[in-house]
Amino acid sequence: MFASLSDRLTSTFKNLRSKGRLSEADIDATIREIRRALLDADVAVSVVRDFTGAVRERALSAEVSGALNPAQQVVKIVHDELVTVLGGTARPLQRAKTGPTVIMLAGLQGAGKTTLAGKLAVHLREQGHTPMLIAADLQRPNAVQQLKIVGERAGVPVYAPHPGNQGEGATPGLSAGDPVAIARAGYETAKARQHDTVIVDTAGRLGVDAELMEQAADIRDAVSPHEILFVIDAMIGQDAVATARAFADGVGFTGVVLSKLDGDARGGAALSVAKVTGQPILFASTGENLTDFEVFHPDRMANRILDMGDVLTLIEQAEKVFDQQEAERMAQKVADGQDFTLADFLSQMQQLKNMGSMKKMLGMLPGMGQMREALDNFDEREVNRIEAIIQSMTPAERDNPKVINGSRRARIARGSGTTVQEINQLLQRFEAAQKMMKQMAKAGPGVGGGMPTMGKMPGVGKRAGARQPKKDKKLTPQQRAAAARKAARDKQQGNSSGGASFGVRKDIDASSVELPSGFDKFLGR
């Protein structure tokens, strides 16, 4: 979502790094570029004004003028101010001291509240809680049925005594249930069944609807929620500001959840809503799967915007899905110098797949903004093809790929729906990875020079700034003939002058040369 903003800011800071000292004009030019970038990203004008004012004030202070690297100091200031705009620090959910914790979801229709209710339930269940969903959205057609399906996928119970509005052909008056009574009864049911968390899904509004706003306020009064989460579509831009203010005045909320953060919009909502409403962003929905949900960390999001990566989130996701025993087994195998097999490679790749989109994971690495085009062109299906190829092999072939001859490659290609060329490419890449693992095993932990070779990397093994010899150019037949004639002339001139190919002068008497004792036997004297 922040790709355009990230590229603009990165380009601005790149121009700064070429200057050893920053003048007031340099800082003003940088502030102008930042202002344009934020406005183009659809950030609220008031937020842009406050942000650029704070950055300019700090950039002109002593912390920049006295810094060893002023450009880096300006980047740090922008990072700090971005963190402030995004809410400062991450805040955990408020929990009830006794009884179930009640979390109420509110927002516009289409913001993704129902799906987000399931994502939040999965997140809480992974933390050891026992959530229950309450279907209090009786307005939107089939909203209750959708929540039941989401709850089933999430593995959590759903309290839905009323079918709600079932769209065309529904029984007249059937959608006129009382969502307030359902929310209250659902809370009592969850308390009786000893659920420690209740998530109430309320009706969405098509706009600032006074009647539905009042209904949400009645549900709030009936269940006394510990958290009212305002779910906002991160793609709606500056409209998020007016909507957030209306909900803050009509219902009130204690935190914000950004949905559709994986979209390709400009991201103005994310950079505006926390500053405008004064309420923190608690969670972010980053995909369609129920597991595409994460705690919102302002400092990590600022890192992503400035192309500094988000390694901490990447590590946390890896810890969720990686098998600790499998990781220890692989580490011991490398330490013992055992061969890295295709079966091991398949196991590691399947664990990577469990982490989600490869594009998303790669995008969390620092500096990946400079490779955005290559990242966008990355084919997620390539992982599935590699998996199909390895699974089409026999156990013996996975353990010892050297036995895979031509006929075996043709059989594997037919079984995996690929070509023999793709099989060859995979085996070549695997052979390189296997050599790298062997080098790591030989080097051992903490040994200098244990870094395995990375192939033909630019600059590796060459002295910085050294002039490299030019590669031989391809010669035409006429050029080769001319070169042969020149070599023949040079040889003839060398013989007549007493020279030789290795620089030995023939006009010198070898018998007059003093040699070390015992060396005569090599000359046949």
159: region left, alpha or beta (phi > 0 left; psi from -120 to 50 alpha): beta
- 202 annotated binding-site participant: yes
Q: Are 55 and 63 in contact (CB under 8 A)?
A: no
Give the amino acid at 450: G
Q: Are 378 and 359 in contact (CB under 8 A)?
A: yes
Closest by Cα among 149, 151, 150, 147 to 138:
147
- 337 annotated binding-site participant: no
DSSP-derived 3-state class of residue 53 = helix
DSSP-derived 3-state class of residue 44 = coil
- 259 annotated binding-site participant: yes
Q: What are phi and psi of 107, to 5 degrees?
A: 155, 180
Instruction: Please name the residue ranges forming H helices in 86-199.
Output: 113-126, 143-154, 179-192
- 111 annotated binding-site participant: yes
- 114 annotated binding-site participant: yes
Q: What are phi and psi of 259, to 5 degrees?
A: -105, 160
CA–CA separation, 290 and 266 (whole Å): 24
Angle formed by the axes of helices 45-59 and 268-277, to 10°?
80
- 108 annotated binding-site participant: yes
- 203 annotated binding-site participant: yes
Q: For residue 517, what are its two tokens?
A: 């004792």
Taking 3-state DSSP, the helix, strand and coil percentages for the chain, each rounded to the nearest 5, stand at 55, 10, 40
- 286 annotated binding-site participant: no
- For the chain, count helices (H), then strands (E): 22, 8
CA–CA separation, 134 and 149 (whole Å): 13
- 262 annotated binding-site participant: yes
Closest by Cα among 322, 330, 384, 395 to 357:
384
Q: Are 184 and 219 in contact (CB under 8 A)?
A: no
Specify the DSSP class assigned to residue 22. Answer: -
Give the amino acid at 278: G
Q: Are 304 and 273 in contact (CB under 8 A)?
A: no
Q: How far is CA 27 from the centre of its chain?
A: 31
Q: What are phi and psi of 124, to 5 degrees?
A: -70, -35
- 109 annotated binding-site participant: yes
Q: Are 130 and 188 in contact (CB under 8 A)?
A: no
- 418 annotated binding-site participant: no
Residues of each annotated binding site for GTP? 107-114, 201-205, 259-262
Residues of each annotated binding site? 107-114, 201-205, 259-262
